[in-house]
A and B are shown apart, each in its own frame.
Chain A
Amino acid sequence: MENNEDVLLNVEKISKSFKDVQAVDELSFQIKKGEIYGLLGPNGAGKTTTIKLILGLLEPEAGDISVLGLNPQKDEIEIKNQVGYVSEEPLIYKSLTPKELFNFIASIRKLDGKTTTPKLAQYLESLSAVEYYERLISTLSRGNKQKIQIIAAIMHDPKILILDEPLTGLDAKSVKVVKEILELHTKRGGAVLFSTHIMEIAEDICDRIGIINQGKMVAEGTMDTLKHLVNAMDEDMDLEDIFLRLTDQDDSINDIVDKLRQTMNS
């Protein structure tokens, strides 16, 4: 029997459309305490729209969302106090420095300077970002901007982390550090919603995976559950193969590979 108190994020039959495009279509999933949930889907599948609905940045046309038992539309501020968000495209005030940005975020979140400063220093050191602390964000590389965004998302010790392609542009050491952060976060009862295109990472760190296509959930579960779903328990299939099969892309990818082979060998 599932304990409701363990569910930190509950998404139930939500729908959202933009003009004629159905971005999210009766999508449902739950994330529990101590869990890393991977949300996978091809480009335009509705992952970012789902995340925006969870954060209360968009209003669903149907369905319910509950974050820590609260409604994102009504209780946006309370929810954001407990959620950390890393977006796919880091639009983070390019004319500020990380120092100014962190001061701004800490002020808006009304954090305690004395307790947050050592944490911030540790995160900066762990992600090798101390040297960029007083440089303009616009002068930083994609990877360094991403580090700043990750630190901004975790500096207030959120209960839920919502990460949209968080490892883009990061070097191997930083990827390892972020993975460790996520593990520590879940060990102390936090939850993670992890959206990515990189199948190896999803397979490596996610406890459960939801695959969405055209706004709908096409499969959900652990790696073993997903293998069952595609009748491939005996096959040596990885998440990439399962993903392509579930999103009906495996046939088309074979065609593309054949054509490429012909072109490149000619």
Chain B
Amino acid sequence: MNNKQLYKISKFAYKEAFLESQLEMAGSNTAQILEKMEKNSNYMRNQDIVMKVVVALYLAAMVILPVQVYSLLNDAVESGIPSQWAIFAGGVSFSIFFAIQLIFLVTFGVFLSSGFFSGEEFKWLTTLPLSKQDLQKITFFTFFRTVDAQFFVLALGFPITTFFVTKNIFITVISLIISFLNIIFSFGLLAIIGEKLHRIMKNSDVNSKKASIIRVSVMVGYAVLTLGIALSFQMIIPKVGPFFKNYPSNLEQIQLINNILPIIPYPFSSGFLISNLYIYINNQNISTIQMLSPVLGVLVLIIVNLRFYRKVMQKMNNIIFPKIKKLEGIENQKITEIKDIELTILEPVDAFFKRDKKMASRDIQVIMMIVMPILLPLIGYFSMSFGGEDLGDELGTVVMVINLSYWMMSGVLIIYTLMNVERSGSTITQSLPINTRDQAKAKIRWLLIILPISSFIPLILSIGKESFLTNLVFALITMAIGPLTGILTLILRVRLFGKMRYKYVLGEINIAAKVWKWVLIIVIDTIFYVFIVTAFTVIMMTYDLAILSMVFIIGEAVILFILLYFFNRMFPRMNVPKI
């Protein structure tokens, strides 16, 4: 078979890999994804296109940073800023650009890469009359398909920008070469991390503490990266200009850094090479050693890339011949013996909570649900600290209103995610004598743990500041709002989807007009949100903290009483007699 035919065949393997990655990412939402696919056969194709377009656009939008850096380098040359500092600032800025590109690529591609390394998509291909070489090529083409959009944007985005900004063919050609080297490095790293992640997530030795810590750390890290990356880019852009202008008086150390830092192959060698060349073509003197060190760094990058290439090809071979990998896994697995079997009986509410906790440590969706409510207020605090200086005295109120919004959103998100957990094991829960009250109480326990942490975490950042006491009072009086929103969503969700003749269940029984029911839930949640935020802002602006505290505490107590009334009616206490 020729390469064109093999490339066409790889399309089927890619579709499988994409599906696998979506299911891995979905975790407890797997049933929902499968349901969507059943309704719309193009669902996965559309998802794939949307994801590629979004990632490609985001990567393309990042070229704003090098455009800015070129412009600042130009200004530096014209305004007589010392060349050592211009090279340093340019080199560091370009390096940050390459680093962010890499982080972005890895963050958004890692699950697709991980799905690819499951090898599921190649199982049936190995039953067809295809040679080993053909299978290897198909594997390579499949991986290329997972990153094709990113490949073209990364390969061409920076060189095209360089050409239009500098109008210099030489530096454009160099930037093209650098882009290709960076792509090989990035994709090599993406493949290696993806394969590692797949092993961590699918590790059979699930009960070892080490494996659990690694798994949770990886997922938390992923969540932090996803949330932090957009923010960091936003924060960096306005800081680049001042960075160029504020240079130190002693430039000897900078010269030394300019000679050493570019030896580090990624991202500094590429960043400093471009910076050096740009200064050089603008008739600035550059010492030979300063020119040589990024060249040396680029040579090291080529060696690293060669090693990466071999390693990735070896891992791709392991996908086609997975027996070797399986044997490696078995050596480390704990073999259970009959004497190890012992049941631990808990109260039903504790059992539901423990089950959710176990699943959370292995499910990216659930871990995101736990991490996001804690991270969002922190991000809110940071973003306001960086951009909200103009707000003066009202900054505290604005931050609290933003955080209040996050807590209310989180309450809804937590309930939504936890309800999906139920669906992932539906055949087991369907057969169990479940008292829905226990099930619902376990969900509320999550709200009561996560959301207060989320309320108090931003306070740590204001310790020692004047606003600490006010923020503490704010946190105390509003910390019930998030859980109340969650309970409201739970009640609405069960009322609309789980009403049966004699009882309410947490599962989705009444699926007619599903979209409209969700619209109704969101509308009611939004009305509740607008009411709370408006009340908070108006009272805060009109009266003082004491009045605000009093109104909120009484208001929350009333809302809690109403919600508890509905909760107890829907989930009555039961005393189940044994037959």
User: B205 to nearest A CB, angstroms?
Assistant: 8
B362, closest chain A residue (CB) = A95
B430 contacts partner chain A, Cβ-Cβ < 8 Å: yes
Residues of A contacting B354 in the complex (Cβ-Cβ under 8 angstroms): 103-104
Chain A residues, Cβ within 8 Å of B347: 107
Check if B359 sits within 8 Å of A93, measured CB to CB.
Answer: yes
Our count of residue pairs bridging A and B at CB distance below 8 angstroms stands at 161
A259 at the interface (CB under 8 A from B): no
The interface residues of chain A lying within 8 Å CB-to-CB of B362 are 95, 136
Q: List chain B residues, Cβ under 8 A from A103.
A: 343-346, 351, 354
Do the beta carbons of B345 and A106 come within 8 Å of each other? yes
Q: Which residues of A contact B434 (CB under 8 A)?
A: 77, 80, 108
Question: Does B579 sit at the interface, judged by CB under 8 A?
Answer: yes
Choice from A59, A83, A89, A132 contacting B427 with Cβ under 8 Å: A89
Interface of B, helix, strand, loop or mixed by DSSP: loop
Q: Complex: how many Å from CA A120 to CA B433?
A: 19
B303-342, CB < 8 A from A: 333-338, 340-342
Residue B515 CB within 8 A of the other chain: no
Q: Report the separation of the CA atoms of residues A97 and B340 in the bound assembly, to the nearest whole angstrom.
A: 14
Distance in angstroms between the alpha carbons of A117 and B574 in the assembled complex: 27
Chain B interface residue count, CB cutoff 8 Å, equals 54
Return A151 CB to nearest CB of chain B, in Å.
11
With A74-B502, A96-B359 given, is the CB distance from A109 to B206 under 8 Å? no
Question: Is A170 among interface residues, defined by CB-CB distance under 8 A?
Answer: no
A contact residues, total (Cβ < 8 Å): 63
Given A92-B427, A117-B342: A80 touches B432 (CB 8 Å cut-off): yes
Task: Report whether B342 and A135 are in contact in the complex, using a CB–CB cutoff of 8 Å.
Answer: no
A30 sits at the interface (CB 8 A): no
**CB contact list, B333-389 vs A, under 8 A:** 333-338, 340-348, 350-352, 354-355, 358-359, 362-363
Cα of A80 to Cα of B429 in the assembled complex, Å: 10
Decide yes or no whether A130 CB sits under 8 A from chain B: yes
Would you call A232 an interface residue if the criterion is a C-beta within 8 Å of the partner chain's C-beta atoms? Answer: no
Nearest-Cβ distance from residue A171 to partner chain B, whole angstroms: 19
Whether A11 sits at the interface, judged by CB under 8 Å, is no
Question: Which residues of chain A (56-115) have a CB below 8 Å from chain B?
Answer: 57-59, 68, 70, 73-74, 76-85, 87, 89-97, 99-113
- CA A94 – CA B338 in complex, angstroms? 23
A55 in the interface (beta carbon within 8 A): yes
- Roughly how many angstroms separate A253 CA and B345 CA in the complex, as a whole number? 53
Determine whether the beta carbon of A91 is less than 8 Å from that of B345. Answer: no
Partner of B341, one of A95, A107, A130, A136: A130
Q: Are A59 and B343 in contact (CB under 8 A)?
A: no
Q: Among A77, A135, A149, point to the contact of B206 (Cβ < 8 A).
A: A135
A68 touches B579 (CB 8 A): yes
Q: Which residues of chain A have C-beta atoms less than 8 A from B350's C-beta?
A: 107
Task: Kindly state the separation between the CA atoms of A159 and B579 in the bound complex, as whole angstroms.
Answer: 10
Whether B343 lies near A116 (C-beta < 8 A) is yes
Asked if A138 is an interface residue, CB under 8 A from chain B, the answer is yes
Contact A76 B503 (CB under 8 A): yes
Residues of A within 8 A of B337 (CB): 130
Q: What 1/0 mask marks residues of chain A from 124 to 150 whose CB sits below 8 Å from any chain B CB?
A: 110000111111101100000000010
- Report which of A57, A59, A68, A73 forms a contact with B430, defined as CB distance below 8 A: A57
Flag if B358 contacts A100 (CB, 8 Å).
yes
Chain A residues with Cβ below 8 Å from B341 are: 99, 117, 120-121, 124, 130, 133
- Please, could you name 21 A-B residue pairs with CB atoms under 8 Å apart, sorted by A? A55-B431, A70-B579, A73-B502, A78-B576, A80-B431, A80-B432, A80-B433, A80-B434, A81-B579, A91-B31, A91-B427, A95-B28, A97-B207, A104-B352, A105-B428, A108-B433, A133-B336, A134-B336, A134-B340, A135-B206, A136-B206
> Chain B: residues with CB nearer than 8 A to chain A?
27-28, 30-31, 202, 204, 206-207, 333-338, 340-348, 350-352, 354-355, 358-359, 362-363, 423-428, 430-435, 500-503, 509, 574, 576-579
Across the A-B interface, give the 3 residue pairs with the lowest CB-CB distance, nearest first.
A107-B351, A93-B425, A85-B431
List the interface of chain A (C-beta within 8 A of B): 52, 55, 57-59, 68, 70, 73-74, 76-85, 87, 89-97, 99-113, 116-117, 120-121, 124-125, 130-136, 138-139, 149, 152-153, 159
Q: With A83-B431, A135-B204, A153-B431 given, name 18 new contacts (CB 8 A).
A: A59-B501, A73-B500, A77-B576, A80-B431, A91-B423, A93-B424, A93-B428, A105-B428, A107-B346, A108-B433, A108-B434, A113-B344, A113-B345, A125-B338, A130-B336, A131-B335, A136-B202, A149-B427
